[in-house]
Amino acid sequence: MAKKKNIEEPVRKAGLFEYAPAPESPAAAGDIATSYGHFIGGEFVDSSGSEALKTVNPATEQVLAEFAQGTDEDVDRAVAAARKAFADWSSLPGSERAKYLFRIARIIQERSRELAVLESMDNGKPIRETRDFDIPTVAAWFFYYAGWADKLDYAGFGANPRPLGVAGQVIPWNFPLMMLAWKIAPALATGNTVVLKPAETTPLTALRFAEICRQAGLPKGVVNIVTGDGRTGAALTAHPDVNKVAFTGSTPVGRAIARQLAGSRKKLSLELGGKAANIVFDDAPIDQAVEGIVNGIFFNQGHVCCAGSRLLVQESVQDEVLDALKRRMATLRVGDPLDKNTDIGAINSAAQLARITELTEAGEAEGAERWSPECELPGTGFWFKPTLFTGVSQAHRIAQEEIFGPVLSVLTFRTPDEAVAKANNTPYGLSAGIWTEKGSRILWMANRLKAGVVWANTFNKFDPTSPFGGYKESGYGREGGRHGLEAYLDV
């Protein structure tokens, strides 16, 4: 049992007082069934197979529910339901499709507390993030693409652009409901129907979204959700009656999907891994930059494809930045994801924790210096302290491989040219951050960084009106904004 802390006892090094616990009630997540089937043709149905998987709360390791392992036959049924619904859905006027999207967005807002708590329980991320970022972003995505539904002729893709047909979508576990929204909202707005497979560790908010579709009166078969592991995803992406495949996840799986679809007529978009550089120049506002560094790597436990996992700091301010960064890291609160004061929640799974642990041990073995603030970790669940490495070279695995956890690798540079060379020395190309007071330097750097998204004096800022995506081994295609429509249109 963890030692009870005195509320008047100051936190060592931070110079602050402890926060009293402010837990959100798990009951706010609503009823969680003991087992789930698939959502096909507007109804929850049993799987054709008998295999079931379990989803656990990563903060407690308690089983939340069992869910069906989707079979090839289940995928066939879901794609057939989507194909049957496509004719009527695609022939609706855009203004009518928009009504359903607006309705879904409003229901998401009305049920935001329920969805935020359920997401935190199933994923492990802090309630503060699901409440203030994830769920508002989900609603905003549906509102935004509802506005596009009757304006496709003016989107810049030619007159009378047509939907592709059935979209097969596979989403990851780091932002389960948000990735669902990023994919389903533009697909429906453009007149496509959908079969979606959520990640096997975080299926619950996708299944709750199925309830929202029924509550909104969405025509049967327009959205279908089939649960399962990678076998189900492979069956969906390979299905001959799927016209469009959208995948967000790891680069190795993305490569496999690209090989699988090579030579087919299926349209493909991939949003894969990243190893973003957060670049701090000597004229940057240090306190502001430190907040951006912390947000860039410790937001969502570092389970972010565009996380600023490499810090490139100019040599002349290295000591100042690292001192300020360590002071700030010492104030981060690691613990119960349902506590509103928590900054860093639980790692999503035992497998991911093992991956993070293996790479950090490799960093130490290769000679980098490891540092973490003092903090007590809960006795059960999957946890990892916020960690930074100094003395990192470009050849180290922690500087090249995506860790997907709360681990920051610090490198230095002397000149802007060196910063660009080091930032681009990665197989990925998803995002980057620049911290400087000079607008000319921001533009100079942005033109040379090989990243799909470049933030200036901020990090991890997302808006439905702005396209997001990468290139190189970070994938291709864009989600968000007008550009996000093109992936679902025959142009």
Could you give the dihedral angle defined by the CA atoms of residues 99, 104, 105 and 107, in that order, rounded to the nearest 10 degrees? 120
| Angstrom distances, CA of residue 192 to CA of 162, 164, 339 | 9, 6, 39
Residues 6+ apart with CB under 8 A from 368: 389, 390, 391, 392, 393, 396, 398, 409
- Are 160 and 485 in contact, with CB atoms under 8 Å apart? no
As beta bridge partners, residue 97 has: none
Q: How far apart are CA 209 and CA 31, in angstroms?
A: 14
Residues recognised as catalytic:
271
Hey, how many other C-beta atoms are within 10 angstroms of the C-beta on 215? 13
Residues 6+ apart with CB under 8 A from 203: 36, 55, 67, 122, 176, 227
Give the torsion sign (CA, 183, 481, 129, 116).
negative
Residues 6+ apart with CB under 8 A from 211: none
Establish how many alpha carbons lie within 13 A of residue 332's alpha carbon, considering only the half-sphere containing its beta carbon. Answer: 28
Backbone angles phi, psi at 210, to 5 degrees: -60, -40
| Residue whose pair of structure tokens reads 């810049």 in the numeric block | 156
Q: How far apart are CA 251 and CA 474, in angstroms?
A: 7
Residue 313's closest CA among 394, 419, 393? Answer: 419
Backbone angles phi, psi at 74, to 5 degrees: -65, -45
The amino acid present at 9, given as its one-letter code, is E
For residue 294, what are its two tokens?
Answer: 């912390």
As beta bridge partners, residue 407 has: 387
Q: How far apart are CA 108 and CA 130, in angstroms?
A: 13
Output the DSSP codes for 278-297. EEE-TTS-HHHHHHHHHHHH
Beta pairing, strands 223-225 & 43-45: unpaired
